[in-house]
């Protein structure tokens, strides 16, 4: 019998969790559906962009992800220690950015006004509640799954469930579990036969990390002109068409998180890579703020473990 999530996901405590959701009836609503002969692969970009957007607002780090044909995997790291350092104004701004009170004629959210930010920041009890929610795993996954479900249902012109249930979750309690789970998530497309190598695994964290490493290598080894040409070529090869702003008539389009929030935050700096690596620097986001010795050991574990799944359902 499964335990309630509240038994192993404690609000206000740091941890690393493997979270995943599956489409209703295991239908291929993120790939080519053989029953309806429709291709829904463009929705994979929706989920990645939504993850990117939420990672810029919540104090939750996205350590790994993989978007499959009928489900997706994420490895998430709530950081209540980071949200505790935010000012009341920053908490209010982030919350009003996530839940805008006003929209323009096209339905695009308008950045929160100064009056609304001050009014919310002057409510200590409400701010304390929002501070907890901005590092809550359930609120993060809820805003992710709800947005995708509404967008997909609107595109199909239907109502009802898109996900078969609330998200599944498994706590990763030590370095070996984290490494094994990240291997499992990164190699999921290869295991399912969707790709032959990690470099060709579309919509996965391992592909994004490899491309970032290649970009850094090209920038170091060559001039900026060659690096820019390599970036354009890498972005165009094997990449599905991203969702346009007005696709499916969605009233809440997926914006660029940094651009959309630039005018709302007073010069706050977000980490450049939204996909959080393991870092030993306490000022930057990382899985467990490990020392260099522990990071070296984790790196060894990550690449020496056999790519076998954990005791979870895909």
pLDDT at 3: 72
Domains of the chain, each with CATH number or no CATH: 5-86+134-304 (3.30.70.1290)
The pLDDT assigned to 128 comes to: 93
pLDDT of residue 2: 66
pLDDT for position 38 = 83
pLDDT at 288: 43
Residue with tokens 């290869």, as numbered in its chain = 190
Rounded Cα gap, residues 152 and 112, in angstroms? 27
CA dihedral angle for residue 78, residue 67, residue 46, residue 153, rounded to 10 degrees: -100
What pLDDT does 238 receive?
39
Query: What confidence score (pLDDT) does residue 29 get?
Result: 80
The pair of structure tokens assigned to 138 is 């359930």
Distance CA(75)–CA(204), nearest Å, equals: 12
Nearest Cα neighbor of 75 from 208, 201, 186, 207 is 186
Backbone phi, psi, residue 201, to 5°: -85, 100
pLDDT tens, per residue, the chain with 314 residues: 467 777 778 777 888 899 999 988 878 888 887 777 888 888 889 999 999 999 999 999 999 999 998 899 999 999 999 999 999 999 999 999 999 888 888 878 888 888 989 999 999 999 999 999 999 999 999 999 999 999 899 888 888 889 888 888 888 888 888 888 998 999 989 988 888 888 888 889 888 888 888 887 877 766 655 555 555 444 443 343 334 333 444 444 444 433 443 344 443 433 335 777 544 334 444 444 433 444 445 545 554 444 444 444 44
pTM for this model (two decimals):
0.72
For 291, counting Cβ atoms within 10 Å of its Cβ (0-12 exposed, 13-18 middle, 19+ buried), the class is exposed
Say if residues 19 and 76 touch (Cβ distance below 8 Å): yes
Residue 108, φ and ψ in degrees, nearest 5 = -80, 135
- pLDDT of 307 reads 41
């Amino acid at each position: 019998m499964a335990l309630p999530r509240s038994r192993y996901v404690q609000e206000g405590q740091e941890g690393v969790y493997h979270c995943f959701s599956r489409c209703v009836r295991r239908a291929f609503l993120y790939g080519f559906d053989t029953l309806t002969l429709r291709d829904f692969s463009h929705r994979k970009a929706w989920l990645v962009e939504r993850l990117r957007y939420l990672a810029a607002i919540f104090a939750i780090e996205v350590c790994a992800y993989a978007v499959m044909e009928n489900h997706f995997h994420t490895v998430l790291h709530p950081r209540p220690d980071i949200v505790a350092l935010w000012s009341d104004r920053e908490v209010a701004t982030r919350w009003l950015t996530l839940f805008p009170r006003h929209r323009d004629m096209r339905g695009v959210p308008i950045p929160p006004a100064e009056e609304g930010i001050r009014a919310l920041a002057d409510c200590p009890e409400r701010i304390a509640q929002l501070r907890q929610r901005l590092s809550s795993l359930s609120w993060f996954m809820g805003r992710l799954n709800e947005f995708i479900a509404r967008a997909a249902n609107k595109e199909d012109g239907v109502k009802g469930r898109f996900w078969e249930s609330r998200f599944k979750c498994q706590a990763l309690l030590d370095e070996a579990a984290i490494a094994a789970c990240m291997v499992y998530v990164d190699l999921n497309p290869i295991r399912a036969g969707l790709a032959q190598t990690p470099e060709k695994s579309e919509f996965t964290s391992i592909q994004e990390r490899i491309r970032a490493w290649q970009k850094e290598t090209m920038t170091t080894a060559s001039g900026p002109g060659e690096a820019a040409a390599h970036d354009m070529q890498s972005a165009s090869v094997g990449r599905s068409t991203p969702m346009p702003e007005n696709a499916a008539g969605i009233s809440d389009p997926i914006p660029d998180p940094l651009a959309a929030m630039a005018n709302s935050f007073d010069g706050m700096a977000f980490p450049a890579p939204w996909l959080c690596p393991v870092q030993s620097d306490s000022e930057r986001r990382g899985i467990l703020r490990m020392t260099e010795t522990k990071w070296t050991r984790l790196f060894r574990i990550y690449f020496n473990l056999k790519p076998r799944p954990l005791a979870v359902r895909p």
